[in-house]
Amino acid sequence: MNSPLPDDEVLIPCTRDELGRRVYSTRLTPTEDKRAKVLLCSVPAPIPVVFLPGIMGTNLRNKESKESVWRPPNTGFSIGDIFGLIAAIFTWWSRGPKERQELLDPDLVEVDDSGPIDLGDSGLNAQAAQRRGWGSAHKMYYHPFLARMEQRLDNVYRARKLQKWWNEDSLRDPKEYGEERGQVSVLTEDELIQAGKYQFDVWCGGYNWLQSNADSAADIRDYIDNTVLAHYREHGGISAEQADAMKVILVTHSMGGIVSRALTQLQGYDKVLGVVHGVQPASGAPAIYHHMRCGYEGAVQIILGSNAGEVTAVVGRSPGGLELMPTVEHRGGMPWLFMRNAKGQVLKDASGVPRAYPQRRDPYEEIYKTAAWYGLVPEQNTKYLNMLEKSRTSKAPVTGRSDFEELVDQVARFHDRLWHGGYHPHTYAHYGADDGLHSWREIIWQGDPTPLEIFGAKPRDDGNGSYQGWFERKLPTLIPTTPPWTAQGQDTHGSGGDGTVSTDSGRTPGRSGIKASFRHGSKGYGQYNKEKGYEHADSYVDARAQWATMFSIIKIAQLANWHPTDRGKT
């Protein structure tokens, strides 16, 4: 490898100013100190890395009052985090479906970038991180990773040598981190040196996750053009030619992957060099169905909703939330919603067809729009769809049900366009695939539905996944996934996941011809992939997800051509 600085040279330390620019500070030294003082400067050539959070990961505020309406608490140990958690619990505990629907109206909220910031070891100051949008994203889940990216990508090649992590960990075989396509090679020193010529700056692109992902894509396009790239035109010290050539790298979490695909594949935005997806629900997530019928589980239910009413009141009017429901292509069109008797046997309808939905590859009509007892929004929950008597899709007065059905039709059209749009040609992905993390691969209603299907029946739904009768008869209850039923027999390759996104959905990009796909957890392979899989929300805390992201960014960076020494490169 290359030699470090000689002993007769001293590096002047570097800090960052409020614009994120490098600043060098030194002091006078004794006359007997003859060592050369060295500033490690480089020709300006930035590659902005723009992070797109997942659903509920962006702080939101009311457009008019500017008051915060969504800022999930951080469970850290600082006084601010502790008081924030206590305040959030007391605030959301008392909010019922109607108040939640009123606060979280997709049309009345916008991104709130004034949230708390954890600088970690990023090397940035608070003003620079704020300018780059870090305050728009949930601090606990995302900021440690943003700081890690900033610090590590800013120190690839310094003082004429590769820095420690890059000279050791990054040079490992991607197969040992679960890469399953086998189309990418180990990073080389030349690739690292080439990437090290550039300045990687980490930005955060928060978005309104309640609105359609297509609308969020348009907002992110505006953010990249008029905030990120505009920053470098004004403050980056680059030439007009460089500014015109510059592109960004997108790193996404969960729903952020859907936003990025809408941006590059549906809108044809060409200022993206490449994309790194993390735990994307590429073909949807049945877990959304569970939440709309049962509420969330564990402590988070206080904030996110503890029953069907609290969740349906928000997600039932949220195009973005509904766009995370399983698509036609999920699991190759196979069923994922099952009716079973007390013995675990799949029930059959009057024609002898198994009651496994979708039966006809149409989840929109068969599951989402139906008002049947097993539908996404059964008749008894219609009251939660429009508690404010306000239409989202029409100016004419409509019922909550008709408005919702029109919204589902819009979701179906978006899903179809997104599926046929494919992926950015330079896409890398990683996902969790662990059988120890129940991820609602299937939704199972177990019990006798006969009393619910009698004409005029008035189901008693407890809002937490159980129907209740006046007698001892066992009515359907939504139960955790057990070994899956399929028309072809047992299929366990796509089981498990990350606790939210099933393996079936997470592996979808890898089957669509992307550059690389990393499979992490018990169902993955590799020397550095032996630990239990990671949870969906904090996946970027995991070392495997971080490694896959750093590897992917360096590979994508080889396409950059706006450094002065890259003239003529294609």
In sign, the C-alpha dihedral spanning 487, 493, 498, 501 is negative
Over 70: is that where the pLDDT of 51 sits?
yes
pLDDT band at 515 (very low <50, low <70, confident <90, very high): very high
Cis status of the peptide bond prior to 509, with omega within 30 of 0: no
> In percent, how much of the chain has pLDDT > 90?
75
Given a cut of 90, whether residue 28 has pLDDT beyond it is no
Band (470; pLDDT cuts 50, 70, 90):
low
Q: What pLDDT, on the 0 to 100 scale, is given for residue 297?
A: 82
Look up residue 411 and give its two tokens.
């979701």
Position 44 confidence tier, pLDDT thresholds 50, 70, 90: confident
Q: What is the mean pLDDT of the chain?
A: 89
User: What is the pLDDT, as a whole number, of residue 472?
Assistant: 53
Residue pLDDT, tens place only, 358-373: 999 999 999 999 999 9
> Angle 166-171-176 (CA atoms, 0-180°, nearest 5)?
130
Q: Tell me what pLDDT residue 113 has.
A: 97
**Contact residues for 181 (Cβ-Cβ < 8 A; gap 6+):** 510, 514, 515, 516, 517
Average pLDDT score over residue span 29-55: 80
Q: What is the mean pLDDT of residues 495-510?
A: 95
pLDDT at 463 over 90: yes
Buried residues in 132-155 as b, exposed as e (16+ CB within 10 A): bbbbbbbbbbbbbbbbbbbbbbbb
Domain ranges (residues) in the chain: 9-38, 287-420+438-493
Q: How far apart are CA 420 and CA 266, in angstroms?
A: 9
Query: What spatial distance separates the first Cα and last Cα of the chain, rounded to whole Å?
Result: 28
Q: What is the pLDDT of residues 402-453, one digit of tens each?
A: 999 999 999 999 999 999 999 999 999 999 999 999 999 999 999 999 999 9
Higher-confidence residue of 114 and 10: namely 114
Q: How confident is the model at residue 489 (pLDDT cuts 50, 70, 90)?
A: very low
Give pLDDT, residue 39: 58
Residues of the chain with pLDDT > 70: what percent? 84
Q: Is the pLDDT of residue 477 over 60?
A: yes
The pLDDT value given to residue 2: 46
Distance CA 257, CA 372 (A): 32
Q: Where are the alpha helices (DSSP H) in 295-393?
A: 301-304, 308-315, 319-322, 363
The pLDDT value given to residue 157? 86
d(CA 168, CA 164): 6
pLDDT, tens digit, for every residue of 216-264? 999 999 999 999 999 999 998 899 999 999 999 999 999 999 999 999 9
Q: Which of 31-45, 91-105, 116-130 has the lowest mean pLDDT?
A: 31-45
Three-state SS letters, 215-267: HHHHHHHHHHHHHHHHHHHHHCCCCHHHHHHCCEEEEEECHHHHHHHHHHHHC
**DSSP strand E in 285-381: where?**
337-340, 356-357
DSSP per residue, 383-427 = GGTTTT---SS-SS---HHHHHHHHHHHHHHHHHHHHHH---SSE
> For position 77, what pLDDT does the model report?
44
Q: Would the pLDDT of 487 be above 60?
A: no
Q: Identify the residue with better confidence: 181 or 2.
A: 181
Task: Give pLDDT tens digits for 107-165.
Answer: 999 999 999 999 999 999 999 999 999 999 999 999 999 999 999 999 998 767 888 99
pLDDT greater than 80 at residue 25: no
**pLDDT for the residue 37:** 59
At 389, the pLDDT band (50, 70, 90 cuts) reads confident
pLDDT at 418: 98
Mean pLDDT of 29-57: 81
Greatest CA separation for the chain: 98
Residue 97 in tokens: 């479906």
- In the beta sheet, which residues pair with residue 272? 248
Burial class (CB in 10 A: 0-12, 13-18, 19+), 228: buried
* pLDDT number for residue 22: 65
Q: pTM score, two decimals?
A: 0.91
User: How high is the pLDDT of residue 263?
Assistant: 99
Tokens at 206, concatenated: 């928060």
Using the predicted structure, report yes or no on whether residue 276 has a pLDDT greater than 50: yes
Of residues 163 and 30, the one with the higher pLDDT is 163
Say how far apart CA 175 and CA 506 lie, in whole Å.
Answer: 18
Tokens encoding 401: 């049900």
pLDDT of res. 290: 97
Q: How confident is the model at residue 31 (pLDDT cuts 50, 70, 90)?
A: confident
User: What CA–CA distance (Å, rounded) separates 11 from 159?
Assistant: 9
Specify the pLDDT at position 1. 40
Mean predicted confidence (pLDDT) in 334-343:
95
Q: Is 105 a residue whose pLDDT tops 90?
A: yes
% helix, strand, coil for the chain, step of 5 = 35, 15, 50
Q: Is the pLDDT of residue 101 over 70?
A: yes
Of the candidate ranges 38-42, 142-146, 281-285, 370-374, the one whose mean pLDDT is the lowest: 38-42
pLDDT value at residue 214:
99
